[in-house]
Structure 1
Amino acid sequence: MKPPPSSSPSSGGGAAASLLRKGRLSPYLFTLLVFIFFVAILYGEDFSCILNGQFDYLRLSPSQLTVTFSSPATAKKKSAAAALPFAVGTTAEKKCDVFSGRWVWDEARRPLYEESECPYIQPQLTCQAHGRPDKDYQHWRWQPNRCSLPSFNATMMLEALRDKRMMFVGDSLNRGQFVSMICLLHKQIPNNSKSMETNGSLTVFTAKDYNATIEFYWAPFLLESNSDDAVIHRISDRMVRKGSINKHGKHWKGVDIMVFNTYLWWMTGLEFKILQNSFDDEEKHIISVSTEDAYQMAMKSMLRWVKKNMDPNKTRVFFTSMSPSHGKSIDWGGDPKGNCYNETTLIQDPSYWGSDSRKSIMRVIDKVFGKSRVPITFLNITQLSSYRKDAHTSIYKKQWNPLTPEQIANPTSYADCVHWCLPGLQDTWNELLFAKLFYP
């Protein structure tokens, strides 16, 4: 960045000398001014960038939604040598977008663990145990276009978590990422030195030798809602209470690495119900707003909570973007009556994105995060997961209710095209989390 013509060393020095000759400046003040001036020239670009605020926001192009988000300049500029908490290095190519790439077949290194070796996977995600005949979905590896992801290192992750707490907050999709993380780590921990307990909305995995916990907290909207019961939450008439994030947030304080998600439960239609008073009040004051406005309210509440409760010098906060579903084969040129059932191949169209509702929510994130200085790392798993119509649990999961003869005759009718088999796609989400945590 070039300085203005009037700010050249010769003209600046001459002006200061002229003032000195007129007796308006002492020799000491003159020396100080010249020193400051030359420093400004040498580091003018840095000063200007600090004033302008270097910040990589989420950017949405008209043709395709592309998300790049990183911590704000204020955190980066505190010290030229200062690194983000937990960081040990950077990617080989700093400008590499790890979320842009392709899936490559890798039978040698995938899966990262076996389903039968991880006792913590819920029966809703154990596809092999429930009869899935193929394993191809386990052998795909994400390859960024301009670099490679660092290999997931369980020992390194556990050492970083020593005496610390890591928490996943959100819905069942975030719980799947939480379980994936435990499966990636637990083999490094002796059997008598680990435990997992659930108490209401909170599930805690403890690595005793490390005095570390990896936790999941059920809060599908982040805000207080009528779907907060960790077991009984299948409510069609969903609503959230405005300004209520502290109802759950009091359980999140003291966490060192936080991973938020919220998306799927908001998708009830064009409008969403907001409770203005308390769920305990006999007469409830409810308004309906657009889904986008309701989601925006939740995002702003999350950012305010993070700003107030998380120390950017010691903690890291991540937000996982929308997990795509594959409920309509017609979206990728398939059978108009089909969905993810019996799908064993990937979507090959690199521009495939999915539903328009997903785009509208991404625009909300762009708008809210783009104006914020709160340091959150965005894990953009949406598009890379959109290609993976093969990786859902489909019919290969525990069915909580007995299937009817009609359902048995038509597996498409009860296929789960929202959740993901483990091991599988969500292990890649954690590889990306690992990369952004240690090599931001």
Structure 2
Amino acid sequence: MMHSMTSTKRPFTSTQFGCLALSLLLLASTFIYIYSSFLSGFSTKFPNNPQILSKYRDSHFRQPSNATNNKIHILSCDYQRGKWVYDPDRVPRYGKDCPFHRSAWNCIKNGREDMDRINSWRWVPWDCNLPGINPEDFLNLMKDRRIGFIGDSLNENFLVALLCTLHVADRGAKKWKRKGAWRGGYFPKYNVTVGYHRAVLLARYEWQSSRTSNPPVQDGLMGFYKVDVDTPADDWINVPKFYDVLVFNTGHWWGKDKFPDDKPLIFYKKGDQILPHLNIRDGLEEVLKNMIPYIQREVPKRVLKFWRTQSPRHFYGGEWNKNGSCLLKNPLGEDQIEAWFNPKNNGVNREAREVNSIIRQSLLDSNIRLLDLTHLSEFRADAHPAIWLGRQDAVSIWGQDCMHWCLPGVPDTWVDILAALIKDSFEKG
């Protein structure tokens, strides 16, 4: 006998309908919780940009091939890798009237018209949100403490960005130039001092004329610069115990444009010339080999120590003294970075990565933290002073400035990263 395939459908009772509704509600709540947890890593401050969100979904953080244990990690976040996102609502923290400005970097005052656009780009790391510095909170954290920058003018560029940022929270800040500092600022409301000590090679060096040098220099040389690789420059030799935070750098002066063949660097150790003669890059390695142990030996353990990597140049069409230019209106694209900066391409801007490789290797066995700001800065070919230098004859004398940065500008992002690192370190004790 065939059984009937039809059956009588019974309507839901009110109890059954209530159970079904409750189940659906619990399922929806669970989905919302899981989805919101998934999105918790994304900043609620992002512009409504589907391209950025898709990039987060589709691209996990890629470790750079030359990464070391010194890479930046703050609260499980790597700030080195990310993307510049255009954010028209972004407002600079300070303007052209900051009392700590250096004229050549004050692009607003010098008449650059696109400064609003330059400062509308926000650095967004791939895997987290970069917190912008709160100047008042940071000064409270640093109360009764001191921050020192030691190095060349790119560290001064960094310093000015920090000084102008902190000035927003303490309008009574004063210029400060003691303890051998080249320049700096004092914030009386918080008893915080920030200073810069100019030491372009870190090691002591001095000019030796061909007429007075001993031993005499070879024919054809005007003289040479004697570099004592084992002796810190006078500008900072007496300050290691003065600061609570120190940021070192060197590298931008280690090239033939600063020390041409007729005025070379000659390296000495313990008063004797190092033989055979070292070329410039080998000399840099020798200086780092001596200065890094000196820092570890002479700077107290309580002092938080950073070493800033190279700030990339953006000369297009030639070197600074051969009509090199950077009159660009937008950041470089991801596909352009390697063409500009990979040493294999032998371009005019390759030095940043070359020097970084030497610095990373030299720091491997130290307790100095690497402050790697190079990659994020490589994109910003649009943000240099270029021809807006505050003097009519500046470009004819020095060429375009495609090395330093307009302020406000890219170094303000450096300040955000440094402030986050300091805060993280101090709070963890």
TM-score by length of 2: 0.69
Residue 265 (str. 1) matches residue 249 (str. 2): no
Closer, same or farther: CA 329–107 of 1 in aligned 2, 3 Å:
farther
Contact kept, 8 Å, 1:340 with 1:390, in 2: the verdict is: no
Give the CA deviation at 1:303. Answer: 1.7
Determine helix, strand or coil for the equivalent of 1:347. Answer: coil
User: Is 1:304 the equivalent of 2:296?
Assistant: no
The residue identity in structure 1 corresponding to 2:296 is K
Partner of 2:408: 423
Alignment counterpart, residue 109 of structure 2, candidates 114, 118, 129: 129
- Tell whether 2:322 aligns with 1:322: no
Q: Does 1:219 align with 2:199?
A: yes
1:350 to 1:150, Cα distance in 2 relative to 1, 3 A: farther
Equivalent of 2:229 in 231, 235, 242 = 242
Whether the 8 Å CA contact 1:260–1:319 is kept in 2: the answer is: yes
Residues 190 and 100 (structure 1 numbering): CA distance in 2 closer, same or farther, change over 3 Å?
A: same
Separation (CA, whole Å) in 1 of partners of 2:274 and 2:292: 25
Query: Structure 1 residues 155-164 or 352-361, which shifts more?
Result: 352-361
Range that drifts further, 238-247 or 380-389: 238-247
In 2, Cα distance between equivalents of 1:190 and 1:60: 41
Offset at residue 66 of structure 1 (A): 4.2
Give matches, 1:7-406, under 5 Å. Answer: 61=65, 65-66=66-67, 69=70, 91=75, 94=76, 96-116=77-97, 118-135=98-115, 136-191=117-172, 194-198=173-177, 201-226=181-206, 238-245=225-232, 247=234, 248-268=236-256, 273-276=265-268, 288-312=277-301, 314-329=302-317, 339-349=324-334, 352-353=337-338, 354=341, 355-370=349-364, 372=365, 374-399=366-391, 402=393
Check whether the contact 2:90–2:121 (CA below 8 A) recurs between aligned residues. Answer: no
Distance 1:236 1:171 in 2: 23
Shift, 1:365, TM fit: 1.9
Percent of aligned pairs sharing the same letter: 26
Q: Deviations over 1:29-73 (max 9, x none)?
A: xxxxxxxxxxxxxxxxxxxxxxxxxxxxxx972xxx4465159xx
2:12 equivalent in structure 1: none
Counterpart Cα distance in 2 of 1:130 and 1:317: 35
Write the distance in 2 (CA, Å) between the matches of 1:147 and 1:329.
Answer: 36
Q: Report deviation, 1:154.
A: 1.0
CA separation in 1, counterparts of 2:206 and 2:275? 13
Superposition TM-score, scaled by structure 1 size: 0.67
Q: Secondary structure at the match of 2:160?
A: helix
List gaps (5 residues or longer) in structure 2.
1-62, 208-221, 342-348
Aligned 8 A contact 1:68 1:378 in 2 = no
Instruction: Return the letter of the residue paired with 2:291.
Output: M
Larger Rg: 2
**Inter-partner Cα distance in structure 1 for 2:406 and 2:252:** 18
Describe the superposition over 1:200-235 as per-residue Cα deviations: whole angstroms up to 9, x where unpaired. Answer: 6532311122222000111011111238xxxxxxx9
Give unmatched runs, 5+ long, in structure 1: 1-58, 72-88, 228-234, 332-336
3-state DSSP class of the match of 1:392?
coil
Q: Deviations over 1:107-132 (max 9, x none)?
A: 2233232233x121110101121121
SS in 2 for 1:308: helix
| 2:206 alignment partner, SS class | coil
Change (3 A) 1:351 1:148: farther
Secondary structure at the counterpart of residue 417 of structure 1: coil
| 2:351 partner letter | S
Supply the distance in 1 between the matched residues of 2:421 and 2:336 (Cα, whole angstroms).
24
CA distance in 2, matches of 1:330, 1:261: 25
**Contact in 1 for aligned 2:155/2:249 (Cα 8 Å):** yes
Shift of 1:287: 6.4
Tell me by how many angstroms 1:133 deviates: 1.7
Q: Deviations over 1:54-98 (max 9, x none)?
A: xxxxx972xxx4465159xxxxxxxxxxxxxxxxx952xx1x311
Once structures 1 and 2 are overlaid, which stretch shifts more, 413-422 or 236-245? 236-245
1:265, distance to aligned residue in structure 2 (A): 0.5
Cα distance in 2 for partners of 1:276, 1:321 equals 25
Shift of 1:167: 0.3
SS at match of 1:418: coil
| 8 Å Cα contact 1:152-1:431 kept in structure 2 | yes
Deviations 1:135-175 (A, max 9, x none): 21111111000011122111221122211111011111100
Structure 1 pair 340–103 and aligned structure 2 pair: CA distance change class (3 A): farther
